[in-house]
Structure 1
Amino acid sequence: MRPEVFQYIQQNTELHRFLRIHPSWYRKLSRDPSMLSQMEKEAKVFYGKTFPQRMDRLQNNMSMAMMLLEMMKNFKPN
């Protein structure tokens, strides 16, 4: 792997961790360093950082909060 590619990966801890979890990317990046952007995209999907995944997580949190508010509203102390 080219030193500048490896240095870039080492500077980004999530990319470095992703590379350690998915060692097939060592070979891919050694053969074609331009695949770095593809690896970054896959790492974002892996870590749940894409926009649709973040929106889904936000929606789940909002529904949980609404459910808790509804439970608090219906709670009647004895």
Structure 2
Amino acid sequence: MRKEVAEYLKQQKDLRQFVREQPQWFRKLSRNPNELQSLEIASLHYYKKTIPHQVEKFSNGVQMASMMMSMFQAMNEQS
């Protein structure tokens, strides 16, 4: 692997961990160091840090809060 690619991975904790968990990326980067952008995109999908994943996570949180509020309202009405 090229020195500059190794240094870049050393600086990026998430990418370094991703390469450890997905060793095929080490081989890909060794053969073609221009694949860094693809590595970053794959890492974002793997760790679910893309915008659609974040929106889904936020939506699930709002849905959970709404359900809890309706449960509390139902409990208050029964009392």
| TM-score, normalised relative to structure 2 | 0.93
Aligned counterpart, 2:13: 13
Residue correspondence of structure 1 range 39-78 to structure 2 within 5 A? 39-76=39-76
The root-mean-square deviation of aligned C-alpha atoms, in Å, is 1.1
Name the SS for the 1:48 alignment partner: coil
Give the distance between the partners of 2:12 and 2:73, measured in 1 at CA. 45
The runs of at least 4 aligned residues of structure 1 exceeding 2 Å deviation read: none
> Displacement of 1:34 after TM fit?
0.6
Amino acid aligned to 1:52: P
Amino acid aligned to 1:14: D
Flag structure 1 segments of 5+ consecutive residues without an equivalent: none
Give the distance between the partners of 2:52 and 2:31, measured in 1 at CA. 31
Give the distance between the partners of 1:67 and 1:4, measured in 2 at CA. 50
> Displacement of 1:56 after TM fit?
0.6
Name the SS for the 1:9 alignment partner: helix
> Displacement of 1:10 after TM fit?
1.0
> Displacement of 1:46 after TM fit?
0.3
- 1:38 pairs with 2:38: yes
| TM-score, normalised relative to structure 1 | 0.95
Give the distance between the partners of 2:7 and 2:28, measured in 1 at CA. 16
> Displacement of 1:63 after TM fit?
0.2
Which structure has the highest helix share of the two?
A: 2
